[in-house]
Amino acid sequence: MKTKIGIPQALLYHRYYPAWNRFFKELDCEIVNSKESTKNTVDAGIRLAVDEACLPVKLFLGHVHYLKDKVDYLFIPRIVSINSKEYLCPKFMGLPDMVKYNISNLPPIIDTTINLRNNRLNLIKAAREVGDILGKNFWQVNLALWKAWKELKAYRCQIRSRVNDNSKYKIGVLGHEYIIYDKHISMNLINKLKDMGVEVITAEMLSESCLKDGTSNLSKDLFWTLSKNMMGAAYHFFDRNDIDGIIQLTAFGCGPDSLIGEMIEREAKRRKKQPFMTLNLDEHTGEAGLVTRLEAFVDMIQWEGV
C-alpha cells in the first residue's frame, strides 16, 4: 500500500503544487489533497487559530483539520527563503509549529526546512531529508526533484501564456497567489471580472524580468520575496498604457501587506493614471458587497473608454 501524503490546499499550495505533486508521485506516494476552501474550512480554522492569525493561516489550519485523519503524513515544510538574500513572511517559517500546537491528534508532519537564502543547493538537501523520512534512496529522490522542477517550470510557462492581448479592457490584479486563486476567500474574483468583460493579469503572468524592472523604481531593495513580487507587478502595471485599472487584494491581519499595500496605494494616487481599488478581505467579507464594488469599478473603466 502506498504512503499517503496530505497536502493542504492553501498558502504556497497555489504556487508549488505541480512540483510537490510530481515529487511525491515519483517517490511512489499517494497524494491526498484537502478539498477546495469552503465556509466550513474557514470556520474550522477560526476555531483552531489564535485571534491574531491572518486569514490565510486560519484557512490553512482548516485544511489541515480536514486532512489529519485521512493520511499517513502531512507535508508542511518550514519555508524560510526561496530566493537569494530574501525571506518569506514569518508565518511560513513558523507554520509547522502553529499546526502542532493548535491541532491535536495529528499524523507525523514532514516539516523539512527549505532555506535557499545563501545556497540554492539547499533544496537538494531538503529533498533528501524528505526521502530519508519516506525510506527512499538517493537516486530516486534526485530524479524526483529534477522532474518536479521541470513540472513547475512548465506550469509557470502555462500561466504566462494565459494573457489575452485581444481583450478590449485589462485589469491588473495585485495580491498573493493564496488569496487570488483561492476561489472562496477571493470569492472567485477573477472569473467574476471575466464575466464582466475584462481580461485579468496577475503578477504570476509576468516574466521575472518585468517584476525585476518594476522593483528597480524603489530606493531600497525589499527582502520579502512575495511582497517584492507584488510591488514589482504594481510598478509594471503603472507603466503600461494597456492596463485600464488595478485592483489590490489584501488579507486582514497580514503584516507585510499592511506596509506594501499602503506603498502601492500611495503610488497609485500620486500617478493618477489608472483607476485603483483596494479590497481588504477577511472571514466576514460579504460576496454581495464585493460584487457591487467590482461592478462599479468596471463600469467606471468602461465609461472612461467610451
Domain 4-159 in CATH 3.40.50: yes
C-alpha span between 185 and 251 (Å, rounded)? 9
Helices (H), the chain: 13-26, 39-48, 55-67, 90-102, 122-134, 138-160, 177-180, 189-195, 208-215, 225-239, 255-271, 287-305
Supply φ then ψ for residue 83, to 5 degrees.
Answer: -140, 155
Per-residue pLDDT at 207: 87
Per-residue pLDDT at 124: 94
10-residue stretch averages of pLDDT, the chain, 306 residues long? 93 95 96 94 92 90 96 96 90 93 95 93 94 94 96 91 74 93 91 90 90 83 88 93 92 81 90 89 80 90 70
Domain ranges for the chain? 4-159, 164-305
**Residue pair 59/41 in contact by the 8 Å Cβ criterion:** yes
- Residue 175's Cβ-count burial label (10 Å; 0-12, 13-18, 19+) is buried
CA distances from 81 to 19, 53, 95, 247 (A): 17, 21, 14, 27
CATH architecture of 164-305: 3-Layer(aba) Sandwich (3.40)
Cell of 292: 457591487
Same fold for the domain at 4-159 and the one at 164-305? yes
Determine the residue type at 235.
Y
Per-residue pLDDT at 69: 94
Q: What is the pLDDT of residues 4-40, one digit of tens each?
A: 999 999 999 999 999 999 999 999 999 999 999 999 9
